[in-house]
Chains A and B, each alone.
Chain A
Amino acid sequence: MALLEIDRITKRYGALEVLSGLSLQVDEHEVVCLIGPSGCGKSSLLRCINRLEDTDSGEIRVHGERITGKGVDLDRLRREIGIVFQAYNLFPHMTVLRNATLAPMALLGQRRDEAEARAMTLLKRVGLAHKAAEHPDRLSGGQQQRVAIVRALMMNPKLLLLDEITSALDPELVAEVLDIVRTLAADGMTMILATHEMGFAREVSDRVCFLWQGQVHEEGTPDAIFGDPQKEKTRAFLRDLVKAGRL
């Protein structure tokens, strides 16, 4: 059974329909990249998956269990689906370490020493153990984003959503963040990435989905989508990227 099944969901903001009957399945340990022009619904889709936004119709299931509609324990659902935001959104009044340990201690009942031990292990993995006692405003964008990934991982999510996590970064800081995503993919973390980094999408993902007008317009292996796209809109989008020097 697929880990995540999205079944013809729609999402409207007033008169604007951003998702129009979109369907998508993601298997365990799969890395799926969402690409497409701005406003095509990538971010909205991710925010619907962990219910930061409500869908207007259709159904989303995690391990076969419906998570859309009423009667869903959202706080419990969100513990299992991590998200990393474009703007990091670290808690500015807490140290890096506290940012990481707050949720597992308050929500999973972990003791301080075990939460901190795990946080230090993860911070070491992303090369930021020495920043544990700093506040986020003392860190570069790339460092903050790595901490945000650690904060999400602390809850041991079974699915990680990455919402354009390198879009706010200076170009020279992008690599350090993508390196971590690469490691996570190698470790078997199930991930959905909305991204503009096409080279990275091609390298890291098992499947690429091109979103257009609120639907998955074309999907396939990275080689198929980037090497031999079938649909005209996909080709036009990739052509524009090549013209802009981004592919």
Chain B
Amino acid sequence: MAMTAAETGGPTPARLHRARSVLALLAALGMGGLTALTAWRIGGYAMAQGIAPVLVALAALPLLAACVFVARLGVLAVLFSRAGKKAAEIHEAREFGARASLRAWNALAWSSALAILLGLAWLLALNDAAVSRTFFDLGLIRRSAGAILSAFTVNIAIFVLSFGLILVWALVVAIARTLPGEAGRPLRVMATAYCDLFRGLPAVITLYLIGFGLPLTNLPVLSSLSSTAYAVIALTLTYGAYTSEVYRAGIESVHHSLVSAARSLGFSHAMTLRHVVIPLALRTIAPPLMNDCISLQKDTALVSVIGTIDAFNQSKIIAANDFNLSAVTTVAILFVALTIPQARLVDRLTRDMAGRRAAGGA
């Protein structure tokens, strides 16, 4: 057993990470073999299906290049570990050990990533490429793209209209929920009841009840709206409840000393909200508000349950006609492409805010 520095009186011996380095090298070599096998089998199959050899090469070459890169890391790890053993001086040995460790971890991490990619490739290719043909029929995707894109404008329209309404409606609800005093109680209770109800109701049920219920009521105006309008109403009601909670958290996060300061100058409750509380609250709630916004965009796909021809419904029609889900894949890709930039924006806003808080600002 190795003695610690305190026991021997000498310096702690250098750690050379030999086992880790060897393991990394083995993993790298193994992945290289598997990748080559995969490229050979799946590439051969793809070419047999009539996919151009250039395209196959374009997919396979980066993977093979990655294997070479990983193998190089593994070799370096082992070499550094051995160099450390031969080093004459302890500090030099430690440095070699550290380098070996770093290369070994890198090689292992890259090997794991490669393994996941290979797994996905096999999933797509197995059973005579059943998965790829079901979800990624390029011909069908190309043929249906026009219809899907034009139906997607319905999703965008529903989203834009409801988000505008939600921003205003939720603020009204949040202000009602934070009304002070005895006189504020009735509205406070109403607002709380509304939030409890629509946060508890699944959005799809709200949509269903409004989209199929209101037309049956024979009420003037309300019973004869378009299904898009019902979708906007239902989503506004559902998301208004969520978003009002976000606003309320923002309003309550404004320090009471600032409210005291405004009230002490003679501002009424409403003026304090307008000049101090809401402007400050809006800054802190930007990230959670964006999250609601993203979530709302995705939930526009729910409107297909009431028969609105949005992108999802359109794609389901195509899927039913062609016995193939590739048009639905197009919709999935559209939604993801739309939300990813916003998700990154939320990350950035959150980071900026954390930075500002660390710097002592508000």
Contact = CB atoms under 8 A, between A and B. Distances in A.
A binds B: yes
Interface of A: 50, 52, 74-79, 82-83, 85, 87, 89-93, 102-103, 106-107, 135, 137, 151-152, 155
A79 B283 contact: no
Nearest to B261: A89
B355 interface: no
Contacts of B280: 91-93
Given A92-B280, A137-B362, A106 B267 contact: yes
Contacts of B268: 75
B276 interface: yes
A89 B258 contact: yes
B258 A151 contact: no
A89 B275 CA distance: 14
Given A78-B264, A93-B280, 7 more contacts: A77-B266, A85-B261, A87-B257, A89-B258, A91-B261, A102-B265, A103-B267
B361 A103 contact: no
Contacts of A135: 361
Interface of B: 257-258, 260-268, 271, 275-276, 279-280, 283, 360-362
Nearest to B260: A52
B265 A92 contact: no
Nearest to A152: B265
A106 B283 CA distance: 23
B304 to A, nearest CB: 43
A43 to B, nearest CB: 11
Nearest to B262: A91
Contacts of A75: 266-268
Contact of A106 (B260, B263, B271): B271
B266 A76 contact: yes
Contacts of B260: 52, 85, 89
B264 A106 contact: no
Contacts of A76: 266
Nearest to B257: A89
Contacts of B271: 106-107
Contacts of A78: 263-266
Contacts of B258: 89, 91-92
Contact of B265 (A79, A87, A93, A137): A79
A87 B258 CA distance: 10
A106 B360 contact: no
Contacts of A52: 260, 263-264
Pairs of residues from A and B, 10 with the lowest C-beta to C-beta distance, nearest first: A92-B362, A79-B266, A89-B261, A103-B265, A137-B361, A78-B266, A89-B257, A83-B264, A75-B266, A107-B266
A107 B264 contact: no
Q: Which of B275, B283, B360 has the most CB of A within 10 A?
A: B275
Contacts of A92: 258, 280, 361-362
A191 to B, nearest CB: 15
23 contacts: A52-B263, A75-B266, A75-B268, A77-B266, A78-B264, A78-B266, A79-B266, A85-B261, A89-B260, A89-B261, A91-B276, A92-B258, A92-B362, A102-B265, A103-B265, A103-B266, A103-B267, A106-B267, A106-B271, A106-B275, A107-B267, A137-B360, A137-B362
A212 to B, nearest CB: 26
A44 B53 CA distance: 84
